[in-house]
């Protein structure tokens, strides 16, 4: 038996390296899968024990929300319960349906609130990965925590916005608002869809060239969505039944009268707010690990920034939308960062094994992320635009390359390798 094999054997199934991952979406699952791959070497497999904690009972394809809220058949596909993810059906991987209330970095102990009654319990770990992302409000994402209630939540929404004579106002011309409006119109062409934005350009909050914002407007309009720029919502008022006497069929169906600050009024059956500000779900981490806005401070290795108030920062990682890093928040970045975190944890495990061997201890060879320039992929009905370091591209071929027919579900599933690792 080699010295490393002997060291690994000392870390038996009864004493594995314990890894706690908070968040079971793109970044968290990518970290788990890549760590598993590196530890499952044929010669000297390293015993690990991975626990993934998530408020949902399954993997939800977040970027598919616009389609999940427009199509019943797609909503059934977009949420996969964790027990049905092939690559993670192993005795050394377990899922906890719940949330974290506190991470004690010094003791390496996390307090978990298990659903449904949020009973608190403590769990020890050797390595921790924060990947819980941002807190997004309805209807940016469904708010359900189980697949069963999610399907009912999306079904009710779809029935409401696709009824006969439906007219839907989407408020907010960011990426979420554009995709929600365009996807609804594409999947349900009989619905009259209007997108209202308070500024003179769509995507106004993003650090993108005007050419990208103008292209987004053009594609949205070509998809049949009426776009109202410089329209800031003032109030939404329910329409009493008695005011519908003598109205046309479309007017009688209207449930709300919407008024904008410029005086424009509109009657619609449904209003979808796509302007809520998402906030990091980082409250369980020590305050010293966070920036003023709540985003997690990390090094290029994705380890927490070292601080006297953050003990054991080297063994604590954070990935995905919740970290303070350059660039627009994207699922591609989250998966990429999760891969890096998993590989870097493996490097630290190898270093620990070398320490047990008693030989010369070399520093880990870490993977590092670089500053990310602004880039975006935007699905607009049956077409898409993409912008990055090589400029802007748009059209139906871009839709196929970046999203295929399912808003990227298969692409992300295969990229993380949730269907299984290759032999």
Token pair, residue 94, equals 């377990």
Distances (CA, A) of 303 to 30, 37, 85, 202, 296: 16, 20, 27, 35, 10
Place of tokens 């949730």: 418
Local confidence band at 320 (pLDDT 50, 70, 90 cut-offs) = very high
Query: Is it the case that residue 2 has pLDDT exceeding 70?
Result: no
pTM for the model:
0.93
Mean pLDDT of the chain: 93
What pLDDT, on a 0 to 100 scale, did the predictor assign at position 8?
A: 52
Local confidence band at 1 (pLDDT 50, 70, 90 cut-offs) = very low
Query: Is it the case that residue 249 has pLDDT exceeding 70?
Result: no
- Arithmetic mean of pLDDT, 222-242: 93
Local confidence band at 421 (pLDDT 50, 70, 90 cut-offs) = confident
Give the single-character DSSP code of 360: P
What pLDDT, on a 0 to 100 scale, did the predictor assign at position 339?
A: 98
To the nearest 10°, the Cα dihedral for 145, 150, 156, 162? 130
Higher pLDDT, 3 or 419: 419
Structural class in CATH, domain 155-273: alpha beta
Higher pLDDT, 308 or 101: 101
- Arithmetic mean of pLDDT, 237-263: 78
Local confidence band at 245 (pLDDT 50, 70, 90 cut-offs) = low
Query: Is it the case that residue 108 has pLDDT exceeding 70?
Result: yes
- Arithmetic mean of pLDDT, 287-308: 96
- Arithmetic mean of pLDDT, 169-181: 96
Gap between the Cα atoms of 122 and 212, Å rounded: 48
CATH 3.50.50.60, the chain: domain bounds:
3-68+78-136+278-372+407-416, 155-273
What pLDDT, on a 0 to 100 scale, did the predictor assign at position 242?
A: 63
Q: What is the CATH number that goes with domain 3-68+78-136+278-372+407-416?
A: 3.50.50.60
Q: Are 55 and 141 in contact (CB under 8 A)?
A: no
Element housing 179 (H / E): helix 175-187
Report the percentage of the chain scoring pLDDT > 70: 93
* String of DSSP letters for 320-345: GGGB--SS---HHHHHHHHHHHHHHH
Q: Which residues pair with 93 in a beta bridge?
A: 50
8-22, 101-115, 124-138, 283-297: the lowest-pLDDT one: 8-22
What pLDDT, on a 0 to 100 scale, did the predictor assign at position 219?
A: 98
- Arithmetic mean of pLDDT, 166-181: 96
Give the single-character DSSP code of 296: B
- Arithmetic mean of pLDDT, 184-198: 97
Local confidence band at 361 (pLDDT 50, 70, 90 cut-offs) = confident
- Arithmetic mean of pLDDT, 29-44: 92
Gap between the Cα atoms of 302 and 339, Å rounded: 11
To the nearest 10°, the Cα dihedral for 64, 69, 70, 71? 80
């Amino acid at each position: 038996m080699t010295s490393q094999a002997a060291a690994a054997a000392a870390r038996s199934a009864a004493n594995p390296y314990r890894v706690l991952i908070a968040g079971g979406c793109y970044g968290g699952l990518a970290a788990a899968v890549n760590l598993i791959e590196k530890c499952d070497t044929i010669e000297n497999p390293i015993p690990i024990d991975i626990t993934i904690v998530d408020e949902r009972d399954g993997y939800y394809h977040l970027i598919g929300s616009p389609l999940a809220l427009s199509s019943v058949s797609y909503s059934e596909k977009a949420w996969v319960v964790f027990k049905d993810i092939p690559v993670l059906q192993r005795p050394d991987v377990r899922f906890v349906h719940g949330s974290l209330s506190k991470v004690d970095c010094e003791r390496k102990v996390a307090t978990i609130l298990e659903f449904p009654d949020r009973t608190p319990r403590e769990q020890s770990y050797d390595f921790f990965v924060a990947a819980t992302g941002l807190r997004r409000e309805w209807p940016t994402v469904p708010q359900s925590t189980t697949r069963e209630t999610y399907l009912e939540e999306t079904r009710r929404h779809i029935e409401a916005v696709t009824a006969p004579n439906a007219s839907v106002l989407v408020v907010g011309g960011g990426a979420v608002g554009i995709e929600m409006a365009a996807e609804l119109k594409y999947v349900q062409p009989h619905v009259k869809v209007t997108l209202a934005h308070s500024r003179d350009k769509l995507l106004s909050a993003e650090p993108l060239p005007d050419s990208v914002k103008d292209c987004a407007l053009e594609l949205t309009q070509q998809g049949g969505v009426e776009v109202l720029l410089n329209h800031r919502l003032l109030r939404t008022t329910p329409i009493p039944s008695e005011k519908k006497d003598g109205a046309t069929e479309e007017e009688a169906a209207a449930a709300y009268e919407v008024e904008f600050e410029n005086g424009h009024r509109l009657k619609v059956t449904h209003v979808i707010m796509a302007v809520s500000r998402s906030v990091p779900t980082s409250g369980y981490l020590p305050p010293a690990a966070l920036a003023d806005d709540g985003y997690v401070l990390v090094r290029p290795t994705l380890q927490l920034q070292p601080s006297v108030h953050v003990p054991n920062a080297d063994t604590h990682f954070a990935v995905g939308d919740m970290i303070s890093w350059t660039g627009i928040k994207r699922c591609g970045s989250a998966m990429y960062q999760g891969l890096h975190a998993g590989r870097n944890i493996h490097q630290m495990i190898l270093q620990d094994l070398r320490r047990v061997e008693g030989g010369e201890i070399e520093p880990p060879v870490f993977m590092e992320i670089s500053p990310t320039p602004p880039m975006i992929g935007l699905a607009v009905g049956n077409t898409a635009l993409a912008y990055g370091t090589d400029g802007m591209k748009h059209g139906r071929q871009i839709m196929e390359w970046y999203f295929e027919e399912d808003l990227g579900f298969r692409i992300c599933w295969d990229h993380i390798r949730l269907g299984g690792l290759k032999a």
